[in-house]
Structure 1
């Protein structure tokens, strides 16, 4: 029979193998989880503010709809991670709250990473849109700098190295997506390891069996049992006994009289009778001694 610890080790071996023992190799899982939630909250609020300002820390140009979606997701994730920081480090961590927090943070991490990957794909697929925006924006900046409104520059010529800018931003955004996947998943595993190794689930106590019943009802029968009389149901006796000694029989009195003893009406011996009333037995010497007679006949005496 396997112990619960052996059963847990066999069932969750790979989950324990990939769970980090320390956050970033130096912090405990509880402290690392709190720090990770705090950094998550700061980054998410920063990304949300830039997205609502129609800007992005990864791309020079992106459509408005992906930016708004990215900002809303990061705003929600920032609130979730801030609540996780309070639950882990400020309040006393409890298993139910920490477990629920792990589920919610896991959903938030998946949403942020998926949105980052989708934005990268959209940026890589819209190179023509980025190039036209880059040329128009650079042309406007040059005109504002030179203060010449009659400056005509062709829009199809890459005077501003927009292709090179697009290639650089592709590298930067790809590196950012890879780093976010690596860091976010590591921090998620740290929080999961904290929730899975810092609490012990005790099995419910086994209730004691109920005490046996004091009286057991007799099995039903077709015929009614006759009423049983006990001492408490019997009426008191009307006879009175003067002595617990039983009365002597009449034959006992005659036998005692033959022995020369007188008894009263109650059967008790009063006194011994006179000597002449005692029964007479012949002397044994008249009849001789069997031992002496036998010895004399044999000539031994």
Structure 2
């Protein structure tokens, strides 16, 4: 059940969600990314996780994180900051247990981003650890984005680097938070719900995706897309085009690439949409 402090209306008409997803290994032999989505009553949970740094067991770590969060979500079916925090904590505990059980997996870890949507009450919350990102677009314009738990993000915040270094700096993969890392910074969990509108759209993606597409390109693709799948396909084409044009040495394979798009539609016909056709 939703936490008491959240918006509630017995007469609310639930928003409608449209989802699309892709995940591939990029230029690597193993895809260490994982993803999942689950709907329980009028609550939806979407997750993307990325095994960190090519460490042995990265694909296991991301899979444990995703499955642990979905397991806890299905069991509790709760919406709120405390519930979201408990899902992350459950994933941390489950990964630590697996690390202790299998010594060769002791260094495995994963980033994660989680989106919760209460369709009936038309609101959303999210959380993340590491550099797996969540973006919220409204009327095709970027409204909100998570801030990486990374060394370069700290440099940017301190004014030592420009924001574009988040995509290009050679030390951009050094993280300050990840599930499974001893002494990690905690997850960032939104404490206030975001009220949803019928033209909102979310993107959840790993660094293998966002490193190769700018926020301006994401916006342009969102404005032109007719559906979650169209938006994802358009962005992925840009990711492939931009990554192919880079001058990275052949010895550095492109990273795993995973992305999840979620489009929100309001079934009430009187509410205008920024998109050309309804979902």
Q: What TM-score does the superposition give when structure 2 sets the normalisation length? A: 0.20
Question: Bigger relative contact order, structure 1 or 2, given CA contacts below 8 A and separation 6+?
Answer: 2
Structure with greater helix percent: 1
Structure with greater strand percent: 2
Larger radius of gyration: 1
